Amino acid sequence: MKDVANAAAPLRIAIVGAGAAGTLVALNVVRRSEPGTTLALTFVDPAEDLVVGAAFSTTDPRHLLNVPAAGMSFDPEDRFDFATWCSDQGMVDADEASYWFAPRREWARYLRQRWQETLAAACDRVTVTHVRRRATGLVPDGTGITVTVEGDEPLQADRAVLATGLPSVGDSWAPRDLAGEPRYVADPWRPGALEALLADDEDVLVVGTGLTMVDVALSALGEAGSGRRVVALSRNGRLPQPHAPAYLGEVVPDVRAWGSTLPEVRAAVHAHVGAVEQLNGDWRPAIDGIRYRVAELWKRLSESDREAFLRDVAGEWGVRRHRIPPASQAALEEHQAAGRLEVRAGKITAVEGTEGGVEVATADGDQLRFGWVVNCTGPRSDVRTLGNPVLDGLLGVGDRTPVAVTDGLGLGLVTRDGQVLGADGDPLPLWTLGALRRGELWESTAIPEIRVQAGEVAAALLAD
């Protein structure tokens, strides 16, 4: 392996995926590297700019962070950095900034600014290249790793990071292939996906009632006074819970005696939540405290318990753990009270395109007509089925030889503290973080977790 102290030969690091996670790794690598170290960083991502993945490419100011500003600093050791940045920018009063839910586009601007400042401070010992192409493969070659790129030369690196983020959206609910329907929005996270929908006033069916539905409904309904109606439908009609109006703290439990089976852990969680609720009058500090213990508890569960968790518990956990800001909740309630937004439980049995719209049938026998149908059922969970060429290549999808493997449920890659293990169990010169570590950690998709992982990955990339 390269001696990183040798200033003459730069350490070449390829970062596949330049979203929030990839950018946080790069930022940590530059900040943590010794002044004598030279670095050649290459982002590989078709996106035009950094930090524009599924969550942060939105330009709609109604799309708010679902984590208060105090949880969104790029540096967990400098907790209030983002909150202070927001108040310095004049977006919020300093005394309210830490529990403020900023528009997500502002966080992207913040992270890009911190990245540029970090780069400027490193002067010319760091070179950065952005290859605006999709990566198609990662091939370790004994001394380093080759990144193959769509329509471009392969790229040689000493070490690489795979930060391709949230899996692509799934639509297993759809009664048939809707890909050809002009008024069906299959992936609302794709930049510009809602443009045509926002340009008219037709009614909208949103399939799914989670966080993505909240974004889409608030955009589609726009300012009060629009004549449009939105119906949000899911199997259980369950909405995300709102954050409390003010910060309530976190009660981190001692989980040593919580057992190692799903029934034992569930019982312990219920007891903890009940006790905290009795003491504080609110369940939220209990759930927020458990967040710090999720990885530890997840590790204890057998594969069949994890499967049962995904099937029976993950939905209920998700609506309490990933909450919406009070302002989004108030806007939803206002739209519901005015009859512009209806949230329903149901199952779609048929979808047919008609002249300028879509007819939808439900299992209850309803026949509904909408101008648009938007898929907000969230990401697919099995990374083996995403059709992302870089993952397919790595995992040997098709008849290729696998370089790396996933956990049994396909939730993420098998790693040792983020360093990807080869199919033979040996560590590769490749690290990953975020959604691709869900198999090992479960809660691994939000910035409070990703920023810690980014620091750890950066330290490993710089280590001999």
Ligand X SMILES: Cc1cc2nc3c(=O)[nH]c(=O)nc-3n(C[C@H](O)[C@H](O)[C@H](O)COP(=O)(O)OP(=O)(O)OC[C@H]3O[C@@H](n4cnc5c(N)ncnc54)[C@H](O)[C@@H]3O)c2cc1C
User: With CB under 6 A as the contact rule, which of the stretches 18-26, 272-280, 302-310, 408-416 interacts with ligand X?
Assistant: 18-26
User: With CB under 6 A as the contact rule, which of the stretches 46-54, 109-117, 226-234, 408-416 interacts with ligand X?
Assistant: 46-54
Contact 402, 414 (CB under 8 A): no
Q: Which is nearer to ligand X, 4 or 155 (CB)?
A: 155
Site string for ligand X, 170-209 (x = CB under 6 A): -------------------x--------------------
- Measure Cα distances from 400 to 151, 393, 394, 430 in Å: 20, 7, 9, 19
Q: Which one of residues 13, 15, 29, 55 is an interface residue with ligand X (CB under 6 A)? A: 55
Give the C-alpha separation, 323 to 211, whole Å: 8
Q: Which is nearer to ligand X, 418 or 434 (CB)?
A: 434
Q: Does 217 bind ligand X (CB under 6 A)?
A: no
DSSP string over 255-297 = -TTS-SSHHHHHHHHHHHHHHHHHHHS-SHHHHHHHGGGHHHH
Site string for ligand X, 125-164 (x = CB under 6 A): ---------xx---------------------------xx
User: Which residue type occupies 237?
Assistant: G
Give the C-alpha separation, 212 to 206, whole Å: 9
User: With CB under 6 A as the contact rule, which of the stretches 90-98, 339-347, 398-406, 444-452 interacts with ligand X?
Assistant: 444-452
Give the C-alpha separation, 357 to 373, whole Å: 9
Backbone φ and ψ for 370, nearest 5 degrees, come out as: -130, 160
Q: Does 17 bind ligand X (CB under 6 A)?
A: yes
Q: Does 44 bind ligand X (CB under 6 A)?
A: yes
Give the C-alpha separation, 34 to 218, whole Å: 46
Compute how many other C-beta atoms are within 10 angstroms of the C-beta atom of residue 214.
26
Give the C-alpha separation, 52 to 130, whole Å: 14
Considering CB under 6 A, how many residues would be counted as binding ligand X? 37
Q: Does 446 bind ligand X (CB under 6 A)?
A: yes
Compute how many other C-beta atoms are within 10 angstroms of the C-beta atom of residue 190.
13
Q: Which is nearer to ligand X, 6 or 129 (CB)?
A: 129
Q: Which is nearer to ligand X, 165 or 253 (CB)?
A: 165
Contact 437, 431 (CB under 8 A): no
Q: Which is nearer to ligand X, 266 or 437 (CB)?
A: 437
End-to-end CA distance of the chain: 7
Q: Does 106 bind ligand X (CB under 6 A)?
A: no
User: With CB under 6 A as the contact rule, which of the stretches 253-261, 269-277, 357-365, 445-453 interacts with ligand X?
Assistant: 445-453
Q: Which is nearer to ligand X, 17 or 410 (CB)?
A: 17
- Measure Cα distances from 32 to 28, 38, 122, 314 in Å: 6, 12, 11, 36
* Least Å from the CB of residue 379 to ligand X: 7
Collapsing DSSP states into helix, strand and coil, what is residue 67? coil
User: With CB under 6 A as the contact rule, which of the stretches 42-50, 178-186, 285-293, 401-409 interacts with ligand X?
Assistant: 42-50
Q: Does 111 bind ligand X (CB under 6 A)?
A: no
- Would you state the torsion angle of the CA atoms of residues 60, 101, 185, 46, taken in this order, to the nearest 10 degrees? 80
Residues in touch with ligand X (CB under 6 A): 16-22, 44-47, 53-56, 65-67, 104, 134-135, 163-166, 189, 212, 215, 388-390, 434-435, 445-447, 450
